[in-house]
């Protein structure tokens, strides 16, 4: 504990306003959750700004809220309004019948089968950005800012799969700056007393509008190019899927998404679709650099599959490869918390009565670091996720959430991360700069290294990337 931090008891005595607590949750959400769990155990009951808030830390409670009692909870309207202010009305920012319809129409486009159809677009994006950003000659090395690299690759992947659009390093950087600035601004607004209307001047508004404009221009240009030029033919990308998707519910009359819904879902997919995957890969690379024996075992697995002439899709499903990524997401879950939920009616979770209107928070980070579910929780042990390992306790592992709002892009992200990881592991050796260790994690919407993570990438002698 640092000198300016009050101890737990002093912090919790500040009820009913809870302002110091709110400040701590805003500045250091991981530290705040850890302290609350240490002080309260599996359920923390707080009163913040005269509102009752529960933190649930145990897997069983998470499952009850997200799955068993899903219809007793909704996502927080205020949070959805904040995201709507830059993304419009899409599958993330709507609730009820509107959300159900959009989710139903979009789901087939993100099925494992459909995602397999995006493999060639993903492969091309990865090969191009790796060629531009990393050493090309065998034996050559470069010290790389890992987050910059993973942002560049995942941005290229999402733009290529969404619009068949190949970006440049500078453009990828501009777009990621705009998206991260907008998401950070949204997270600041979460802690404001009210959601400001569009016309009201407020801190950060001018930058927010400029960033929205950058993204809008990109999305509108891409959609217009496709819809105003039918001769362009099918690109087999996500935009094609969105344009062709129909609602197959019996009463829906095969309706499609409106033009506005297509635009707003593009804004979402491209914001949701790179920062989380980039965060997971950043930590995965850091872990490979600090666990050479695991990186070596992984290379052996990929080498054998390549020697057998396995297709790319098979390589992306290799068990040890996927175990290294799953375990990286357990230790460093890209989303450390789920969107909060609000109780629609009185309900009992475990033996805790939760009354209507109460806000509940589930911390994925806490679930993933619980030693009751994971022996030696702070150790990187990919074997936990091999097919013959003992089963992971129910709901103890949920990097993609659970219940009806679980991540729409789960199969997409899993395929994308496996392809990127396989490509990098095949072609490069990773090591940390002399005398350095992995930085502390820090919640910057997604989980990022607190200080720049730099890794030495050395091109291997004789490699054939997948
Ligand atoms: C490692 C990568 C990713 C992680 C860890 C992740 C995590 C999550 C989580 C935890 C949720 C649930 C939020 C909640 O229940 O409140 C979610 C929802 C969502 N994710 Fe992802 N995500 C990832 C990648 C992606 C990608 C690549 C896409 C799209 C291409 C995507 C699209 C979405 C959408 C649209 C939702 C909202 C679903 C709904 O509310 O119905 N995600 N994600």
| Distance in angstroms between the alpha carbons of the first and the last residue of the chain | 47
Q: What is the pLDDT of residue 464?
A: 60
Q: How far is the CA of 408 from the centre of ligand 1 (A)?
A: 6
- Cα(277)–Cα(412) distance, integer angstroms: 10
CB 215, CB 87: distance < 8 Å: no
Sheet holding 428-432, edge to edge: 141-145, 454-459, 428-432
- Cα(460)–Cα(27) distance, integer angstroms: 42
Q: Which is it for the CA torsion 100, 102, 104, 106, positive or negative?
A: negative
Query: If you average pLDDT over every residue of the chain, what do you get?
Result: 90
- Tokens 């390549």, residue? 306
pLDDT at 208 over 60: yes
Cβ neighbours of residue 309 under 8 Å, at least 6 residues apart? Answer: none
Token pair recorded at residue 134: 């990393």
Q: How far is the CA of 272 from the centre of ligand 1 (A)?
A: 6
Q: What is the pLDDT of residue 155?
A: 93
Q: Is the bond leading into 141 cis (omega within 30 degrees of zero)? A: no
Q: How far is the CA of 399 from the centre of ligand 1 (A)?
A: 9
- Indicate the fold that domain 1-75+336-395 takes in CATH: 3.30.43
Q: What is the pLDDT of residue 4?
A: 44
pLDDT digits (tens, 9 = 90+) for 414-445: 999 999 999 999 999 999 988 889 999 999 88
pLDDT at 322 over 80: yes
Token pair recorded at residue 21: 């607590």
User: What one-character-per-residue DSSP string does 49-76 give?
Assistant: TTEEEEEE-SHHHHHIIIIITGGGEEE-
pLDDT at 87 over 60: yes
Give, using CA atoms, the residue closest to atom 20 of ligand 1: 407
- Tokens 């050479």, residue? 292
Q: Read off the pTM.
A: 0.93
Could you tell me the pLDDT band of residue 195, with boundaries at 50, 70 and 90? confident
Ligand 1 closest atom vs CA 402: 15
Q: How many helices (H) and strands (E) does the chain have?
A: 18, 12
DSSP 7: P
Bridge partners of 46, per DSSP, are: 53
Token pair recorded at residue 305: 């599959």
Pocket lined around ligand 1, Cβ cut-off 6 Å: 91-92, 103, 268-269, 272-273, 276-277, 280, 334-335, 338-339, 399-401, 405-409, 412-413
Mean pLDDT of 20-26: 81
User: What one-character-per-residue DSSP string does 163-201 give?
Assistant: HS----HHHHHHHHHHHHHHHHHHHHHHTSSSPPPTTS-
pLDDT at 51 over 80: yes
- Cα(329)–Cα(394) distance, integer angstroms: 17
């Amino acid at each position: 504990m640092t000198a300016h931090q009050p101890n737990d008891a002093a912090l919790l005595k500040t009820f009913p306003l809870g302002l110091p607590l709110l400040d701590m949750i805003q500045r250091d959400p991981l530290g705040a959750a850890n302290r609350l769990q240490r002080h309260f155990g599996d359920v923390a009951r707080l009163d913040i700004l005269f509102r009752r808030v529960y933190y649930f830390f145990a897997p069983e409670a998470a499952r009850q809220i997200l799955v068993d009692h899903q219809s007793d909870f909704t996502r927080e309207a205020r949070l959805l309004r904040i995201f709507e202010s830059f993304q419009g009305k899409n599958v993330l920012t709507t609730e009820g019948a509107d959300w159900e319809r959009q989710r139903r129409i979009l789901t087939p486009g993100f099925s494992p089968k459909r995602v397999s159809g995006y493999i060639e677009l993903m492969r091309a994006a990865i090969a191009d950005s790796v060629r531009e950003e990393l050493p090309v000659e065998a034996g050559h090395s470069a010290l790389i800012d890992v987050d910059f690299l993973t942002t560049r690759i995942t941005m290229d992947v999402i733009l290529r799969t969404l619009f068949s659009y190949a970006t440049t390093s500078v453009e990828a950087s501009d777009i990621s700056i705009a998206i991260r600035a907008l998401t950070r601004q949204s997270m600041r607004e979460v802690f404001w007393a009210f959601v400001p209307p569009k016309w009201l001047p407020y801190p950060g508004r001018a930058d927010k509008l400029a960033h929205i404009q950058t993204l809008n221009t990109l999305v509108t240009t891409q959609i217009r190019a496709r819809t105003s030029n039918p001769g362009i033919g099918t690109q087999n990308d996500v935009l094609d899927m969105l344009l062709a998707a129909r609602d197959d519910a019996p009463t829906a009359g095969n309706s499609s998404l409106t033009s506005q819904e297509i635009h707003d879902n593009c804004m979402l997919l491209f914001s949701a679709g790179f920062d989380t995957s980039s965060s997971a890969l950043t930590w995965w690379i850091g872990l490979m650099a600090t666990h050479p024996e695991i990186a070596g075992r992984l290379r052996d697995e990929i080498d054998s599959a390549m020697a057998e002439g396995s297709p790319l899709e098979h390589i992306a499903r290799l068990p040890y490869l996927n175990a290294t990524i799953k375990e990286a997401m357990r230790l460093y879950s890209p989303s450390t918390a789920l969107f909060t939920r609000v109780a629609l009616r009185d309900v009992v979770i475990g033996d805790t009565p939760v009354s209507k209107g109460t806000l509940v928070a589930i911390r994925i980070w806490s679930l993933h670091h619980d030693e009751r579910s994971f022996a030696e929780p702070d150790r990187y042990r990919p074997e936990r996720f091999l097919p013959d390992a003992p089963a992971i306790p129910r709901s103890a592992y949920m990097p993609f959430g659970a219940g009806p709002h679980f991540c729409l892009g789960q199969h997409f992200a899993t395929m994308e991360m496996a392809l990127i990881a396989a490509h990098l592991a095949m072609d490069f050796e990773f090591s940390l700069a002399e005398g350095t260790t992995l930085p502390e994690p820090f919640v910057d919407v997604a989980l990022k290294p607190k200080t720049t993570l730099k890794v030495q990438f050395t091109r291997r002698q004789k490699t054939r990337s997948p």
